[in-house]
Chain A
Amino acid sequence: DAGVIQSPRHEVTEMGQEVTLRCKPISGHDYLFWYRQTMMRGLELLIYFNNNVPIDDSGMPEDRFSAKMPNASFSTLKIQPSEPRDSAVYFCASSLSGRGPQETQYFGPGTRLLVL
């Protein structure tokens, strides 16, 4: 399997611009997670989906952030307008439902976002 795929790997943009991050989960996985990693806050959940439905979006910082999962193989995280404090590494992860090994989350390579 190809693993979790994220694009772009790096993004540099100017404050006020729209940024869209993309994720393709592992085929067959029904959970998808978006995490953000910063020096100040560490790794934190933004939102997660189960069967394409958002389950918990309490980590989404504010209305500038939105996430969608139109189908089982694709999700987007959008920031509009972007601000310098959004600079971070954004990870997408996926897992199966069930017990035991299915509970393991597998991470994509991350998108390193820099907002100038």
Chain B
Amino acid sequence: AQTVTQSQPEMSVQEAETVTLSCTYDTSESDYYLFWYKQPPSRQMILVIRQEAYKQQNATENRFSVNFQKAAKSFSLKISDSQLGDAAMYFCAYRRRANNLFFGTGTRLTVIP
């Protein structure tokens, strides 16, 4: 069974600083996708970044980047130049091809002004 583990229930970062959120997953598949979703207090699930397992290059979206270590089954999210608007719950998620998402338990990120 696929499992996604986020070992940091809460994290905090100073505004303009960098923070890294951790995620590990367990799978026997070789073709899969990994995602980070952001959930602000509005509860909306917002896609932050996506990584295809068949790609070796780490995905980057502006201030957000990932460190994808396929052999270690690790998928961390780095937020650079943190902003107040980055404060939210962050969920790591795994998806086998053409299948549903499996979510981690989330990390609540606080940004300190």
Q: How many residues of A contact B (CB 8 A)?
A: 26
Question: Is B103 part of the binding interface, using a Cβ–Cβ cutoff of 8 Å?
Answer: yes
| B97 in contact with A99 (CB, 8 Å) | yes
Determine the residue in chain A with the shortest Cβ distance to B104: A42
Separation of A10 and B25 alpha carbons in the complex (Å)? 33
Q: How large is the interface on B (under 10, 10 to 19, 20 to 34, 35 or more residues)?
A: 20 to 34
| A109 in contact with B44 (CB, 8 Å) | yes
Contact of B100 among A45, A97, A110 (CB under 8 A): A45
Determine the residue in chain B with the shortest Cβ distance to A37: B43
Total number of A-B contacts with CB less than 8 angstroms?
54
| B100 in contact with A106 (CB, 8 Å) | no
| B43 in contact with A109 (CB, 8 Å) | yes
B39 → chain A, closest Cβ, in Å? 9
Question: Is B15 part of the binding interface, using a Cβ–Cβ cutoff of 8 Å?
Answer: no
Within 8 A of B (CB), among A43-91: 43-45, 48, 50, 56, 89, 91
Determine the residue in chain A with the shortest Cβ distance to B46: A107
A109 → chain B, closest Cβ, in Å? 5
Determine the residue in chain A with the shortest Cβ distance to B91: A43
| A101 in contact with B50 (CB, 8 Å) | yes
Question: Is A105 part of the binding interface, using a Cβ–Cβ cutoff of 8 Å?
Answer: yes
Separation of A107 and B99 alpha carbons in the complex (Å)? 15
Contact of A104 among B47, B97, B102 (CB under 8 A): B47
A13 → chain B, closest Cβ, in Å? 19
Residues of chain B touching chain A, judged by Cβ–Cβ distance below 8 Å, are 33, 35, 37, 42-47, 50, 52, 91, 95, 97-106
Residues of chain A touching chain B, judged by Cβ–Cβ distance below 8 Å, are 31, 33, 35, 37, 42-45, 48, 50, 56, 89, 91, 93, 97, 99-101, 103-107, 109-110, 112
